[in-house]
Every structure is written in structure tokens, then in C-alpha cells.
Structure 1
Amino acid sequence: MTQISIVKLTPALWRVRFDNQPINLIDSQTVVELRAIVEAAEADPEVAVILFESANPDYFLAHWDLADDGALQASLPPGSTGQHPWLDVLIRISKLPVVTISAIRGRVRGAGSEFVLATDIRFASRERAVLGQFEMATGVVPGAGAPARLPRLVGRGRAIEIMAGAEDFDGDLAERYGYVNRAISDADFQDFITAFAARVARFDRRAIAELKQWVDPLTLPDDAEFPPQLDAFFAAVSRPEVLAHIGRLFDQGLQQPGPVEERLGEYAAQTAEPSEAVS
């Protein structure tokens, strides 16, 4: 593991920490390491809770690394779902017979947002968390599950607002919309997360698995919903106007620490070419 560390606080409670400096981008290596964690959890009869957190207080998972060529992902053997490796990881995380928790401090956008949407519970630091699906500002639709998961969480209108508006949401607004379960003051955040995870991890693992068996079919998207969304994403990112827009963002500092990544929703909108359909 070069990007992700795992500490088994007890047999029932795992703490998984993202640490891909400088801003915790997601790339093919992230997928490889997350798949290894998922496979370990699927095979472990004792784990009951997995807590995901970040070593970087400013970035939980920034977004997908747009410089990643995907070759490492393409070399992976098919996962158990038979889907694209990133989709495979997200689907399997959502269906683990354990409680998965995202402890969000810092920024989580794009594919990072789609990761936390695949976990069971999302807690956000009121002062430090920033969430968003910025893709529409660059001319593409989110491709790894947000159009399928967000409406089930926040409702149709708010889901379209989040994705079409491509703006950043702070912890309080994300809580109000249902994007996260709860926003907690940053001073109390670590203590709350640790206590909650430890509390659930003490419960009967079989009961947790049974709870997920009842809740999942009623709340999770069908696996068939995901591939067309990812196909549309891949088709969109190859369009010249999208590549040009992403290039302008790179010129201003995309994927480096600084104002573009700090306020990506704002910068992505500012660098967009006006639509020809708008007079």
C-alpha cells in the first residue's frame, strides 16, 4: 500500500486512511489498493465497521486524477461485479456486510464525492468539509454513480441542483440537503467519529450484516444503472471543448495545492465557455 493505510483497532473495527499527497487525488493505484481492502473485508468474518478518513485535513479525496492514463486499471482482472474497476470497487463497498463510514474533513469532489456516496454513512466537519460534483461545469455528467445515488439520498430536485449547479457545499448545507448524515463541529469531530464507530463495532456482526441485507435492496441502485453513466462520462471527456476547458484549469493550477483546488466549483464555472444556446 502506497496511498492507503489500514489499522485494525479491533478485529471488528478497521480505520482506513487516505494519504496520497499533496491533495489526495484518486488514480488507478487508489483503485488497486481499495480493491485489496474490499477483498479483505469480504473475506473477514469479524470486521463490522470500516471508518474511512484522510491524513490530509484539507482534502479527503480531491477528485479523479485527470493525468492518470488508466493503464493500471485496465490490467486488473475483472472484479466480482464484472464492471469497470472503479465501479466494481464502489458497488462492492456499498454492499459490504459491514457499516462503512466516511469521516469527511477537507474537500471531496467528483469521484471523491462518488466514493463517499457509496459508503453507508457520511459525517462531515462543519468547518472543514467541502463536497461537490463539479463535472457539469466542465461539460460532462458525473460518471461513477452520483446520478444514481444522489436522488435516492436527497430527492430529485436537490440532486439535479447539486450536479447541474456544480457548486461547493459546506458541511452545514450538505447536512441540510441530506448529502451527509450529520455535520459536527471540527473541535468535536474526531471524538464523535471514534466513539460512533467504536459503538457500532461492539454490536453483533451478524445483526449488522442482516441489517444491510434488508436495507440495501430498498436503497441501492441496481448495478445496471452504472455502466451507461460511465460510458457517457468517457464519451464526454474526449470532446475537444471539454479537453480545452480542462486544459485551462490545468494552466491555472488544477491538481496542485492552491486556489483552484480550494475553490474548484468556482474556478470550473469561471473557465467554462458560454453555451452557444445562451444568448
Structure 2
Amino acid sequence: MKTAQRKSKTGIIIRKGVGQQLHYLKRNIRHINTLLDAYTGIPLQKKELKYWYVLQELYRQQLLMFETQTKSVCDRIVSIHQPHVRPIVRGKSQAKVEFGAKIHCSMIDGITFLDELNWDAFNEGSNLMEYVEKFKTRFGCYPKELLVDKIYSTRENRKKLKEKGIRLVGKPLGRPSLAAHIVLSPGERNPIEGKFGQAKTGYGLGRIKARLQNTSKSWIASIFLVLNLVKLAGVAAHWFIVWIIESLSAYFIPKTETNKIGVI
């Protein structure tokens, strides 16, 4: 308690406080195990048993980091209620670390496809060829060209795409030159970046409140489903208006050489 009340904490004070908390948690776990041994069966409900396993794993991870004096561990638990959530380092000014699922999306003709959803951090550039194969599975052929960010423009990815006859549109390797602006202008990636902004501000992608892992996945996938439905509805409305204009033009305006109308 005294450690939490301090306005400024040194590394020694924080380590001493963490050590005391781990000692108290070890004592409590030992007492609970003693009580459970007195029962012939398991007196805990399914939800309580899950929390019990999560707490023991959380204690193991924190003790390991304390003894080895490290700040990271494999599959680190940061939430007792959501043990599947992992901290993902983003390096942004607002939040250096984010908590939640990391997703990868691709856009074809305004329609967004959810290629990957993972609770662990992953490198999108290393999985580029997997996304290309998913495109072939969906459409039966490889894409003619890929418009990608800098993280995908590695030498290995360029070589593999060239072997498949796919043109990569992105920032060239090496020292920046004037030709870089010709290959990829800054506004060409606006559609996919804007789609993420639309999903976060308009449909709550940045405020997923589901607690279970599968429910969160369904929530995220449903948001992109709605985005695609809105896009398709806009396309259908456009062609419906065009059809009405053409029908009215054919009905009210005689088709003569002097009377001509064009619909755009």
C-alpha cells in the first residue's frame, strides 16, 4: 500500500513492492490448495475453476519475471477475466502499448476481407504470401498487382511476388529518390486506412466490449460485414438511380438526332 501511495517510485522500491505482493499471493494460493485438498471432489464451479487456473499461471509468470529480472514472458497474462488478451507494443504517441486483437485486412474493389485475426503480435510482412494465397483461394487466380505499405516491401517478398508475376506497388528499397513519388503517391493507401478509421469511429471497432474470445472475434468480423454491406448498398443505389434516369429519359425524351442525352 505504501508503494502505491508514493508519488515517485524508483526501481528498487517497485521491485520490493512486487516481491511483497508475490509473497502474499503465494501464501494465499497455498491456503486455497490446503482447503481444496480437504474435499473429495472439486467444490468450485466451472467459472471459478477457470479463474483459479488463470491466477496460478499469472503467479508463475510474474514470479519468473521477478526472479530473472525481465519485463516480458511468453503468452503474458494481463487480464484475469480475459487471459487471451496480450499487450501489443505499437509505439504511438497516445498509447505505446495496446491491448486487444491484431487484425490484417485486404481491400479489393472497395470490399474488405479479414485475412487474419490474432491476439498475439505478428509481423504482417512475414505473412504476405499467405494473404496472396488466400486471394487465389477466393478468386481462383493471383492478383495482378499489390498496393502495400513499407513493412511488406522486403526483398524476399519482392522476389516471391516476381516469381508469381505479381507487380508490387510500394516504396522502393534503398535511398529515397524522386521516382518514389511516381511509384506510390501518399494518397493511394487512403482507402484501406480510411476503412479502419470508419470501422473505429462509426462502428465501434476500437471499443470491443465482449469478454469471451470467440465473442470478440464474432463482434470484429460482424463490423467488417456491415462495412461491406454498406459499400454494396451504395453501389446498388448508384446503379438503381442510373436505371431510373435511363428509364425516364427513354420515356419522356424522344430519340431523335436533335435530342440526345447521356447518362454518367
**TM-score, normalising length: structure 2:** 0.26
Structure with more of its chain in helix, by fraction: 2
Higher share of residues assigned strand = 1
| Structure (1 or 2) with the larger CA radius of gyration | 2
- Higher relative contact order (Cα pairs below 8 Å, separated by 6+ residues): 1
